Structure 1
Amino acid sequence: MSKLSNEVIEKKLLQFPDWELKDDTLYAEFEFENFKDCFSAMSRIAFECEAQNHHPNWSNVYNLLKISLSTHDADGVTQKDFDLAEAIEEIVEVED
């Protein structure tokens, strides 16, 4: 999978309002009502990551989940990252 240009990434990000390009990664923060809801979403995301064999850099403090996506083999953002971001959006939307 090849690294996408910043121009292509910016166009694709128009469909992902929760995400931005930050430090050559796709980056988003999601705030939940409480820790339980956040952890539940993280668990669901983890199963999707395994299914796609693509794993985020992420951190969680109480009800806040921070996610960075990049494809290490390509040294940047690829379509794989947008595919995972789309799946994460669907999971987080269900949690709302």
Structure 2
Amino acid sequence: MEKLSEQDIEKRLLHFPDWDYFDNAIHAEFEFENFKDCFSAMSRIAFECEALNHHPDWSNVYNILSISLSTHDANGVTLKDFQLAEAIEAIVEVEE
């Protein structure tokens, strides 16, 4: 998968208002009602990650989920990252 230019990344981010680009990755932070809802979303996201064979750098503290997406093989952001971001958005939207 080919690394996207910064211009392409910024253009694609127009469709992902919860995401930002910095440190060679796209990042988002989501807040849930409680830990259980956050962990439930993480579990659902994990299945999407496996299906796409693409795994985030993520963490959670209580009800906050922080996600960074970058394609290590390409040393930057690729279409694969945006595919996973789209799946994450669909899951998080349902949880809210």
TM-score between both structures, scaled by the size of structure 2: 0.99
Question: Is 1:33 the equivalent of 2:24?
Answer: no
Secondary structure in 1 aligned to 2:38?
helix
**Letter in structure 2 aligned against 1:42:** M
**Letter in structure 1 aligned against 2:34:** N
**Letter in structure 2 aligned against 1:14:** L
**Letter in structure 2 aligned against 1:74:** A
Cα distance in 1 between the residues matched to 2:87 and 2:43: 13
Report the counterpart of residue 66 of structure 1 in structure 2. 66
**Letter in structure 2 aligned against 1:43:** S
Give me the identity figure in percent.
77
Q: How does 1:17-32 map to 2 (within 5 A)?
A: 17-32=17-32
**Letter in structure 1 aligned against 2:16:** F
TM-score between both structures, scaled by the size of structure 1: 0.99
1:7 is displaced (CA, Å) by: 0.2
Describe the superposition over 1:42-75 as per-residue Cα deviations: whole angstroms up to 9, x where unpaired.
Answer: 0000000000000000000000000000000000
Structure 1: stretches of 5+ with no match in the other structure: none
1:36 is displaced (CA, Å) by: 0.2
Q: Once superposed, what is the RMSD of the aligned Cα atoms?
A: 0.3
1:22 is displaced (CA, Å) by: 1.7
Report the counterpart of residue 78 of structure 1 in structure 2. 78
Secondary structure in 2 aligned to 1:92?
helix
Q: How many pairs are equivalent?
A: 96
